[in-house]
Amino acid sequence: MAITEQELAQAEARMAETRAAGHAVSARYDRRRSRVVVALNTGVELTFPTQLAEGLADASPDNLADIEISPAGLGLHWPKLDADLYVPALLQGVFGSKKWMARQLGAEGGRARTAVKIAASRANGRKGGRPRKVALA
């Protein structure tokens, strides 16, 4: 598949536009607060807890401290963890892949203890609870 000069120019223009919106100039792990701190070229500093990001939640402080910034400044890489995050996605509140984010959202929803959920659980208990699974022979 050959890339034309026009396609290359368009790709370079998209990259420049993406970088202008904000790219990382430095990144560090704050051990005291258990957070990653990313400084952008725009003067904005993005800080997030490691538990929010895919691949970082259970990592040791030593592994989290080793952060590399991609040459374009749009990616963060943890070589010891083989974890990567995309800076423009972080600015939009996306801390992992779609599948990982959906799983986190579902787990959070399952933990919710609302009055409606409690009432439904009690009503189900009065009926004898969840039906037992029947093993098919």
How far, in Å, CA of 44 to CA of 30, rounded?
Answer: 17
Same domain, 46 and 75: yes
Same domain, 31 and 85: yes
CA angle at 73 for the pair 69 and 78, rounded to the nearest 5°: 25
Same domain, 33 and 89: yes
Q: Which domain holds residue 110?
A: 97-127
Bridge partner residues of 40 (DSSP): 24
- Reported as a pLDDT band with limits 50, 70 and 90, residue 20 is confident
Let me know if residue 135 belongs to a domain. no
- Reported as a pLDDT band with limits 50, 70 and 90, residue 130 is confident
pLDDT at 137: 63
Which percentage of the chain shows pLDDT scores above 90? 38
